[in-house]
């Protein structure tokens, strides 16, 4: 009985252990017989494996290592990745003997965790399929189908981060002493994952034949849609480097056809079968557990005693949670939100007004980002509804705009200390995507009701991307316009073609999927990281002028270069900085004059009008020649894939944890059986 209780406890709290991924011990024989022959216990066992990839509702999620956001306290969780100093040792979490924070995590390094879960899946499959089981037929088929899906889910996330990985499909005690723990070629890994998806699709029930939150046949279609897009993308399917291997697949244009067919299959479930539809509201897919847009989600029960769950929204927690904060959207992120007329703020005719930089923007901006003076609703501890103005600004009394023209000194904002005008925020704006105004937020109380792993917005974007590569532009535009015509978005239709349409596809993905943990991996699979990942971390500072009953608000934020200093009444200036770059704390030059190539034209944007001192270290994509910036420090951001060899850049793929590399060292052959990814030393 004690052994049975032990394995029941295991399935409730299954987590990655400190052993290497091949250092696993089999389950106790009595325990496995009890669990794998009971419908209820076997289901509990598989339930625990659903968390192979944790949800991203943490302080330092993946957005904080991209050009989406910044995490003030991310020294051991985000900043060392964003500033290019990631190593095979620095990514190892503290509970595995490394320096990385255990809970303020990006969930990029999933190596040990994923293989721990793969081991448990293999153990279950081996027992049920090889030894036989007393499970009822329906439960057995469903759980086996779920197991194949979850193994495919684990391996998809592994290859997206690491390239080709070690393929293990049996319990380790059944592999034999001759098992060579070596990485398989990327294409072989894809073939393996597709095999698991085929088995899962055959066994899983339809959408309406299972409980909410459990995987079903449409989840297989959605995962294959995401997988084939990854496989077809330039990082892994590069015509400039057509030879396949561990780090990438062999180039084939047919991979885009595979991506198209996979995306069409899940989109047809919405457009033909009526099983799904884009939600009428942009916040529906995170607020409504019955949203027609959601294909598969993780659902939460609001309860206390679960720390680190609400921390993504620290800045909105009781006016900042007593000094803590987490996700700050960057100026680079809000720059890419179009105006309501469909133009970027730097385009002629956009209607952008520096005195009101947030007015007239894409409605999704209002759903995602909260800025100074904006009113927002929240629930206090007593359950009472409150409405508050976000007070992230310097109050400058007895002053009006005209006083600066008369010689009144402007506020000094070049030092970090004076940039941090509010204890709970260094970026000057906050995150409201995922925010639930009718749920109380605290450090230990879950306010969110679900996190969508797959939703139709992503599926249509995947279809648009694949269709464009196959020169099916009408279909690509239709997908984008379907998303842009959401009832509470209603952005103008896209009519572009060719490279201009490609710019729209990349930008629409950036905006629609903002803060959903896509951007970091997207800049890599699209091979645009060498430029976008060198746009600096930049925040915004706001000054409220008060003279009698008259109030004016001035913003120091990223501006089109042709507007900078055009009228000093618009915002206070970053005086004294004449160079086009600064030197960050990690010793690399940071450009703050950035050229954006958009629809065939180049626009210069001045980040020097924003705050560049919000982070102890600035962003850097390694080996990107940032120490020798062209054009007096400018960098040029383009959505066209780079021609560089990713094997010359360490941060295109994640490093495999050094502890795992070391465990495969062959002293006789003086080699490591598992090879490290490019750019990282053993």
Q: Look up residue 489 and give its two tokens.
A: 């978005």
**pLDDT tens track for 205-253:** 999 999 999 999 999 999 999 999 999 999 999 999 999 999 999 999 9
> Burial code of 587-601, b = ≥16 C-beta within 10 A, e = fewer?
ebbbbbbbbbbbbee
Burial level of 387, CB count in 10 A (0-12/13-18/19+)?
exposed
Place of tokens 């448990």: 120
Q: Please answer whether residues 231 and 190 qualify as being in contact, where contact means their C-beta atoms are separated by less than 8 angstroms.
A: yes
Question: Which of 312, 302, 310 lies closest to 442, judged by CA?
Answer: 310
- What CA–CA distance (Å, rounded) separates 427 from 416? 11
Q: Note the pLDDT of residue 310.
A: 55
Residues of the chain above pLDDT 90, percent: 56
Q: Please answer whether residues 611 and 577 qualify as being in contact, where contact means their C-beta atoms are separated by less than 8 angstroms.
A: no
- The angle, 0 to 180 degrees and rounded to 10, between the axes of the packed helices 217-232 and 456-469 is 40
**pLDDT tens track for 63-82:** 999 999 988 888 899 989 99
Beta bridge partners of 327: 71
Q: Where in the chain is the domain with CATH 1.25.40.390?
A: 2-246
Q: Which residue has the higher pLDDT, 339 or 55?
A: 339
CATH code for the structural domain at 2-246 = 1.25.40.390
> How many CB atoms within 10 Å of residue 34?
18
Question: What element of type H or E holds 354?
Answer: none
Place of tokens 């991506």: 259
Q: Note the pLDDT of residue 597.
A: 97
| Max intra-chain CA distance, the chain | 87
| pTM for the full predicted model | 0.92
- What CA–CA distance (Å, rounded) separates 499 from 503? 6
- What CA–CA distance (Å, rounded) separates 669 from 681? 19
- What CA–CA distance (Å, rounded) separates 245 from 290? 43
Q: Is the pLDDT of residue 528 over 70?
A: yes
> How many CB atoms within 10 Å of residue 567?
12
Q: Please answer whether residues 248 and 237 qualify as being in contact, where contact means their C-beta atoms are separated by less than 8 angstroms.
A: yes
Q: Note the pLDDT of residue 577.
A: 44
Q: Please answer whether residues 296 and 454 qualify as being in contact, where contact means their C-beta atoms are separated by less than 8 angstroms.
A: yes
User: Which 8-state DSSP code applies to residue 161?
Assistant: H
Q: Note the pLDDT of residue 664.
A: 83
Q: Note the pLDDT of residue 666.
A: 74
- What CA–CA distance (Å, rounded) separates 301 from 445? 10
Q: Look up residue 436 and give its two tokens.
A: 């639930």
Q: Please answer whether residues 513 and 458 qualify as being in contact, where contact means their C-beta atoms are separated by less than 8 angstroms.
A: yes
Place of tokens 């598992």: 674
Following DSSP, what letter does each residue of 71-132 receive, concatenated?
ETT-TTTTHHHHTT---TTTTSBGGGTSSB-SSS--S---HHHHHHHHHHHHHHHHIIIII-
Confidence of residue 406 (pLDDT cuts 50, 70, 90): confident
**pLDDT tens track for 599-645:** 999 999 988 778 887 777 888 898 776 666 666 667 899 999 999 99
Q: Look up residue 607 and give its two tokens.
A: 């980040």
Helices (H) and strands (E) in the chain, counts: 21, 19
């Amino acid at each position: 009985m004690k052994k049975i209780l032990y394995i029941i406890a295991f399935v409730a709290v299954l987590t990655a252990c400190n052993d290497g991924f091949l250092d696993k011990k089999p389950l106790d024989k009595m325990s496995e017989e009890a669990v794998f022959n009971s419908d209820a216990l076997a289901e509990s066992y598989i339930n625990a494996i659903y968390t192979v990839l944790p949800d991203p509702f943490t302080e330092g999620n993946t957005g904080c290592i991209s050009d989406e956001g910044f995490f003030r306290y991310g020294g051991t969780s985000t900043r060392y990745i964003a500033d290019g100093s990631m190593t095979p040792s620095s990514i190892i979490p503290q509970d595995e003997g490394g320096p990385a924070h255990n809970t303020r995590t990006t969930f990029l390094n999933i190596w040990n965790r994923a293989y721990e879960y793969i081991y448990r899946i293999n153990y279950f499959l081996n027992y049920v399929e090889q030894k036989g089981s007393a499970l009822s037929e329906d439960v057995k088929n469903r759980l086996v189908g779920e197991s194949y899906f979850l193994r495919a889910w684990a391996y998809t996330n592994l290859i997206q981060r690491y390239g080709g990985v070690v393929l293990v499909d049996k319990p380790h005690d059944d592999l034999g002493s001759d098992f060579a723990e070596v990485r398989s070629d990327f294409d072989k890994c894809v073939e393996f994952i597709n095999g698991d998806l085929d088995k899962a699709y055959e066994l899983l029930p339809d959408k309406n034949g299972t409980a909410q939150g459990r995987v079903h046949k449409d989840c297989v279609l959605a995962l294959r849609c995401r997988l084939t897009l990854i496989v077809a993308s330039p990082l892994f399917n590069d015509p400039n480097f057509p030879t396949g291997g561990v780090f990438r697949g062999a180039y084939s244009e047919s991979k885009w056809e595979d991506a198209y067919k996979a995306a069409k299959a899940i989109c047809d479930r919405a457009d033909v079968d009526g099983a799904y539809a884009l939600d009428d509201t942009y916040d529906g897919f995170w607020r409504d557990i019955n949203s027609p847009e959601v294909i598969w989600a993780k659902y939460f029960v609001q309860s206390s005693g679960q720390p680190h769950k609400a921390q993504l929204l620290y800045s909105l927690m009781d006016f900042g949670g007593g000094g803590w904060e987490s996700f700050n959207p960057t100026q680079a992120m809000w720059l890419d939100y179009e105006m309501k007329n469909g133009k970027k703020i730097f385009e002629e005719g956009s209607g952008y007004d520096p005195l009101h930089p947030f007015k007239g923007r894409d409605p999704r901006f209002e759903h995602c980002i909260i800025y100074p003076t904006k009113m927002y609703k929240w629930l206090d501890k007593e359950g009472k509804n409150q409405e508050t103005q976000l007070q992230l600004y310097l109050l400058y009394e007895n002053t009006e705009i005209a006083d600066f023209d008369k010689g009144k000194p402007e506020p000094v904002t070049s030092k970090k200390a004076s940039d941090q005008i509010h204890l709970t925020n260094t970026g000057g704006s906050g995150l409201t995507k995922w925010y639930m105004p009718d749920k109380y937020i605290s450090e230990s109380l879950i306010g969110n009701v679900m996190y969508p792993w797959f939703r139709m917005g992503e599926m249509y974007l995947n279809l648009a991307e694949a269709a464009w590569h196959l020169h099916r532009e009408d279909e690509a535009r239709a997908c984008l316009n379907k998303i842009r015509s959401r009832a509470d978005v209603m952005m103008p239709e896209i009519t572009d073609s060719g490279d201009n349409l490609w710019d729209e596809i990349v930008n629409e993905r950036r905006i629609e999927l903002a803060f959903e943990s896509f951007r970091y991996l997207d800049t890599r699979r699209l091979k645009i990281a060498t430029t976008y990942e060198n746009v600096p971390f930049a925040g915004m500072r706001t000054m409220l002028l008060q003279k009698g009953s008259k109030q004016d608000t001035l913003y120091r934020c990223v501006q089109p270069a042709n507007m900078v200093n055009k009228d000093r009444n618009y915002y206070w200036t970053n005086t004294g900085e004449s160079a086009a770059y600064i030197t960050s704390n990690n010793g690399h030059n940071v450009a703050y004059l950035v050229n954006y190539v958009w629809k065939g034209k180049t626009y210069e944007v001045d980040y020097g009008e924003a705050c560049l001192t919000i982070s102890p270290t600035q962003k850097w994509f390694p080996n990107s020649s940032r120490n020798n910036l062209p054009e007096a420090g400018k960098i040029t951001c383009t959505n066209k894939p780079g021609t560089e060899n990713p094997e010359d850049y360490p941060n295109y793929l994640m490093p495999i944890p050094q502890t795992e590399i070391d465990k495969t060292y062959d002293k006789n052959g003086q080699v490591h059986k598992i090879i490290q990814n490019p750019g990282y030393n053993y």
